[in-house]
Amino acid sequence: MFEAKLANAGLLKKIVESIKDLVTDAPFDCSETSMSLQAMDSSHVAFVCLKLNARFFDTYRCDRPINLGLSLANMSKYLKQVSNDDTCMLKYDEKKSEQIGFIFDGRNSKETEWTLKLMNIDSVAWQIPNEEYSVVCEMPAAEFQKACKELTTFSDTMNIKATRTAITFTGKGDIGSSVVTYSPSSSTDDENDAISLEVKHPVNVNFSIKYMNQFTKATTLGDRVRLWLSNDAPGIVEYPIENNGFLKFHLAPQICDDDNLD
């Protein structure tokens, strides 16, 4: 038996909307301690890693490890029909192994129940190397989203340079360029506005702006984002989820050209 209850369906909506355009069919691995997902996008350029600890849910029960193959496209379609503040219960009974149930309790004693047919999706135990990253930057998620959108106007590529004094996002194209620079700041009235920058070695690396914009759909999950960067390793864009989970996007870097190395 597997049961997991969320206080509001809105959070489940946000998670699904954040990843459904990258991973259409998702193998969720459920254990006694967490519900997680690891999957590559169809182009094998980006890797999605989601983990929700048992404490993330109001109630959580998983009698034995199970894999739940779900269509995120179908989930997104059905979740649009329920209110954000409805409670959401996920229920899976091994006796009905071909489907999972969703029960939504809303206002006025309204209860909605629907089922989704499970998919046979192989769950791969991806081995993610323990990389020593040169730069870790934590900043407001909304600012990172804004920078990604600004650069899209000029380029298909985002160049990121980071030193101990600043992190710079640059997009260059035929019509012009956009350069957005953030300096570390901790003395702010709101800690959610602070920008921290840990630099072991300077970084100069390029990424697809298309994918970065896809990742920023997760901005709705919280106020903060962490960037993990090295010159010769996939970058990580991490969104913490209520201190009891995270959504991480791993993205392979693009080959730098001479213009972006200036």
Do 112 and 146 lie in a common domain? no
Predicted pLDDT of residue 50: 96
Q: What are phi and psi of 69, to 5 degrees?
A: -90, 115
- How far from chain centre, in Å, is Cα 179? 25
Q: What is the rounded average pLDDT of the residues 54-83?
A: 93
Q: What is the pLDDT of residues 222-246, one digit of tens each?
A: 999 999 999 989 999 999 998 899 9
**3-state class of 11 per DSSP?**
helix
Range of the domain at 240: 135-261
Do 171 and 201 lie in a common domain? yes
| Contact predicate 17/3, CB 8 Å | no
Query: Domain ends where: 91, 117, 143?
Result: 117
Do 194 and 104 lie in a common domain? no
**3-state class of 232 per DSSP?**
coil
- 32 to 25, 35, 52, 54, 128: CA distances (angstroms): 23, 8, 12, 8, 22
d(CA 262, CA 259): 6
Is residue 169 one of the residues assigned to a domain?
A: yes
Give how many domains the chain has, as a whole number: 2
Q: For residue 234, what is the domain's CATH number?
A: 3.70.10.10
Predicted pLDDT of residue 130: 72
Q: What is the rounded average pLDDT of the residues 124-146?
A: 86
Q: What is the rounded average pLDDT of the residues 6-32?
A: 93
Is residue 127 one of the residues assigned to a domain?
A: no
Paired residues of 177 in beta bridges: 172
| Contact predicate 252/236, CB 8 Å | no
Query: Domain ends where: 117, 144, 160?
Result: 117
Q: What is the pLDDT of residues 74-129, one digit of tens each?
A: 999 999 888 999 999 999 988 877 899 999 998 777 888 999 999 987 666 666 66
Is residue 215 one of the residues assigned to a domain?
A: yes
Is residue 93 one of the residues assigned to a domain?
A: yes
Is residue 151 within a helix (H) or strand (E), and if so which, with residue range?
helix 141-152
Take residue 56 and report the two structure tokens written for it. 């993330």
**3-state class of 36 per DSSP?**
strand
Is residue 141 one of the residues assigned to a domain?
A: yes
Is residue 228 one of the residues assigned to a domain?
A: yes
Do 148 and 111 lie in a common domain? no
Among the listed ranges 9-13, 14-18, 220-224, 254-258, which one has the minimum average pLDDT value?
254-258
Is residue 187 one of the residues assigned to a domain?
A: yes
Do 112 and 141 lie in a common domain? no
Is residue 34 one of the residues assigned to a domain?
A: yes
d(CA 92, CA 209): 38
- The band of 257, judged by pLDDT with boundaries at 50, 70 and 90, is low
Do 143 and 252 lie in a common domain? yes
Take residue 165 and report the two structure tokens written for it. 């004094």
Query: Domain ends where: 59, 89, 117?
Result: 117
Q: Report the candidate in 163, 136, 141 with the shortest Cα–Cα distance to residue 227.
A: 136
Identify the sign of the CA torsion 139, 141, 143, 148: positive
Measured from the Cβ of residue 104, the count of other Cβ atoms closer than 10 Å reads: 21
**3-state class of 228 per DSSP?**
strand
Do 255 and 198 lie in a common domain? yes
Paired residues of 239 in beta bridges: 247
Predicted pLDDT of residue 138: 97
**Tell me, what amino acid is at 253?**
P
Do 205 and 98 lie in a common domain? no
| Contact predicate 205/229, CB 8 Å | yes
